[in-house]
Structure 1
Amino acid sequence: MDFYLTALLQGLCFAGIAFGIYISMKIFNIPDITTDGSYTLGGVVSGAMLTHNLSGYLILPAVLLAGALAGALTGIIHTKLKINALLAGILVMTALYSVNLTILGRSNLPLLNMPNLFTLITFTTNINQNSLIILTGFVLVFTLLIGYLLKTDFGIAMRATGNSEPMIRALGVNTDRMKITGLALANALTALSGYLIVQLQGFADISMGIGIVIVGLGSVIIAETIINWLRITSVWWSLVLVMAGAVIFQFVLAFTLNIGIDANLLKLVTAVFVLLIVGLPRLTGRQA
C-alpha cells in the first residue's frame, strides 16, 4: 500500500508540471520544452536555499520567480525575435543547464537532514500520510488560484489568444504579452513541481529534469481524453482532471513495477499506455 501511496505523492508533486503543459500546449498551442530546465531550476533553487537555512516563506516565491523568468525568456525569444517556439524552448532549456549547475554547485545535493516543508508542518506521525495532507492542500490551493485566474477577464483573454489570435488582436489585446505571461505562468508552475519533489525525495540533482516533459504530456493527454469522453467544458473540472491525470500516470508506473515488469521496459509500457488512452476514443468512434 505504501508503494501506491508514494506514487500518489509523486503524482501530486507533478501536478504543477501538468498544469504548466496544459497552459502552454492546450491554451496557447505552444510546445514548450523549457519545462525540462525550469523543473530542475525549481529543484536546485529550493536545494540551494534550504542548505543556507533560508525561510520557506522566501524559498517558494524565489522558486516561482525563477521559473517565471525562464518561461518569460522563452516567450520573449519567441515573440520578439520571431524564433520558432520549440527552438526558443530548446535554447532556454540548454542555457538553464549551466545556470542550474552554477546554482547547485555540484551534480547532486543531498537534503535528507534539512528541515523542509514536510518536516516543519506535522499533522500526523506517519511521514507519508503527513506529506499527503500537505501536498493535497498545496495542490488544491494552486488549482483554485489557476482556475480563478482563467475565469477572470485576463484569463479569458489568455484562452482567446490560443483559440483565435487574429480575433483577440483585433480587439486590442497585446497577444505577445499574453504569450510571454502565459509561458511565465506555465514555467512557474513547473518550477513548483521541482520545489515539491526535491523536498519529498530529499535531494536535488542536475539531471532530474531530463525527459520530465513526458510526464506532463502524458498527464495532459490522459486528462484530455477523459474531458473528451465526458464532454466537459468547465475550466474547474478540466483543471481537476489534469491534476488527476498526473496521479493516474504515476499509478500506471507504480502498477507496472509492482507486477514485476523489468524496469528497463518501464518507458515502453508507459508509451503503450498513453497510446491506448489516445487511441481508444478513435477505436470506439467517440472522437471529440
Structure 2
Amino acid sequence: MSLIASLGALEIGLIFGLVALGVLLSFRIVNFPDLTVDGSFPLGGAVAATLIVAGWNPFAATALAVLAGAGAGALTAFLNVRLKIMQLLASILVMIALYSVNLRVMGKPNVALISEPTVFAAFEGLALPEEWLKPLVLIVIVLAAKLLLDLFFASEAGLAMRATGGNPRMARAQGISTDAQTILGLALSNALVALAGALFAQSQGGADISMGVGTIVIGLAAVIIGETLLPTRYLVITTLACVLGAVLYRFFIAAALNTDSLGLQAQDLNLVTAVLVALALLVPAWKRKLLAGLPKRRAVAMPVQKEAR
C-alpha cells in the first residue's frame, strides 16, 4: 500500500474515531441503542458545507454543525424519555426524518467544496507537507475531543451519566435525573458524530446525502475492534481504544482493497466491512475458549513453619 493510500486511511480513520467516541457514549455509557448516527453524520456535513458555500467562516460553520447534531440526538432522547417511544424506534424515526432535513438544508443531493475554504486551510501556513496536513490537524482535533470526553467522564455530571447507563434505578434513588442525563448523553454523542461529518465533508471536498449510510456499522466495528485489542476497565483507555479501532478498521479496509492478490474492488467495500465486523465479534469468544482450554495452574501449598518456643 502506497504512502498516499496509508495517509488517506489514517485521515478517514481519525474522522471515524470521533464517530466511535459518539457510539461508545450512546451504546456503552448511556446504554441507548441509537441509530440516529446514520442521520446526524450527513447532517453535520450538510450544515457545514451549506454554510461554507454561503460565505460563513469554516470554524463557525463547523460549530453550528455540531449544534445541529446535538439537537438531533436530544430529539431522539426526548421521544424516548418524554413520549415513551421505545429506544430503537425513536432513533429510527429521527434517522428517517433527517434524510429529508438534510435535503432541505443542502437544497440538492450534494454540495461541493472544491474551491471553498475549509478548517484545514487555516493551517496551510505552517509549512507542512500537503499530504501530512490533514492527518496532523485531525490528530490534534481527535485527541482534544478524547481528552475533553475523559475529563467530562471524571466530573460529577459524567459520573451521573455513567450511573444512569449502568443502573438507572440506583441512579434515580440517588437523586439523579436519568431523563436529563439520557438527553444530554445522546446530545453529546450525536454532536461528536456531526463534528465528524462536518470534517469529513471538508476533507473529501463536499457533502452528499448518502454519506451517512453504514456509519453506525463503522462506529460499532471501531468500538468492538478497540475493546478487543485493549480490554480494560479504565474508561480513559477505552476511549483511546475506540480511536485506535477506527484507524485500524480503515487500514484493514484500505489494505484489503489495495491488495491485488485478493482481487477486491471498490464495490466490495460493504462485503469487507461485514467480514471485519463479524471477525471483531468472534475474536472475544475465541479468546475466551482458548483461555478456558489452557491448563490451570495449581496453587502449591507452602509448608507452615512452626514458631520456635
Decide: shared fold, TM above 0.5. yes
The alpha-carbon deviation at position 271 of structure 1 amounts to 1.8
1:257-284 CA-to-partner distances (Å, cap 9, x unmatched) read 1103233333222222222222123223
1:125-175 CA-to-partner distances (Å, cap 9, x unmatched) read 522201111111111111111110011011011111111110011001010
Residue of structure 2 in register with 1:83 after alignment: 85
Q: Does the residue aligned with 1:285 lie in a helix, a strand or coil?
A: helix
Provide the rounded CA distance (Å) in 2 between the counterparts of 1:127 and 1:12: 17
Q: Does the residue aligned with 2:114 lie in a helix, a strand or coil?
A: coil
1:230-273 CA-to-partner distances (Å, cap 9, x unmatched) read xx222211111111111011111101111032333332222222
The alpha-carbon deviation at position 10 of structure 1 amounts to 0.3
Query: For structure 1, which runs of at least 5 residues remain unmatched after alignment?
Result: none
Provide the rounded CA distance (Å) in 1 between the counterparts of 2:283 and 2:240: 22
Using the TM superposition, name which of 92-101 and 68-77 deviates more: 92-101
Is the contact made by 1:124 and 1:130 (CA closer than 8 Å) also made in structure 2? no
Picking from 184, 187, 210, the partner of 2:190 is 187
Letter in 2 for 1:160: A
| 1:252 to 2:246 alignment | no
The alpha-carbon deviation at position 117 of structure 1 amounts to 1.0
| 1:221 to 2:258 alignment | no
The alpha-carbon deviation at position 192 of structure 1 amounts to 0.4
Letter in 2 for 1:84: M
Letter in 1 for 2:172: R
Letter in 1 for 2:164: T
How many residue pairs get aligned? The number is 285
The Cα RMSD (Å) is 1.5
Is the contact made by 1:226 and 1:241 (CA closer than 8 Å) also made in structure 2? yes
Provide the rounded CA distance (Å) in 2 between the counterparts of 1:37 and 1:280: 30
Matches within 5 A, 1:109-124: 109-122=111-124, 123-124=126-127
Provide the rounded CA distance (Å) in 1 between the counterparts of 2:100 and 2:210: 11
Picking from 146, 150, 165, the partner of 2:153 is 150
Using the TM superposition, name which of 271-280 and 167-176 deviates more: 271-280
Letter in 2 for 1:267: N
Provide the rounded CA distance (Å) in 2 between the counterparts of 1:54 and 1:203: 15
Provide the rounded CA distance (Å) in 1 between the counterparts of 2:288 and 2:99: 44
Picking from 178, 181, 205, the partner of 1:178 is 181
Provide the rounded CA distance (Å) in 2 between the counterparts of 1:152 and 1:183: 18
Letter in 2 for 1:273: L
Q: Give the percent of matched residue pairs that are identical in Structure 1 and Structure 2.
A: 41
Matches within 5 A, 1:1-288: 1-122=3-124, 123-228=126-231, 232-260=232-260, 261-285=264-288
Provide the rounded CA distance (Å) in 2 between the counterparts of 1:102 and 1:70: 15
Provide the rounded CA distance (Å) in 1 between the counterparts of 2:220 and 2:86: 20
TM-score for both structures, normalised by structure 1: 0.95
Query: For structure 2, which runs of at least 5 residues remain unmatched after alignment?
Result: 292-309
TM-score for both structures, normalised by structure 2: 0.89
Provide the rounded CA distance (Å) in 1 between the counterparts of 2:96 and 2:18: 21
Is the contact made by 1:256 and 1:266 (CA closer than 8 Å) also made in structure 2? no
1:179-233 CA-to-partner distances (Å, cap 9, x unmatched) read 01000000000000001100100011111111211110110111121233xxx22
Letter in 1 for 2:79: I
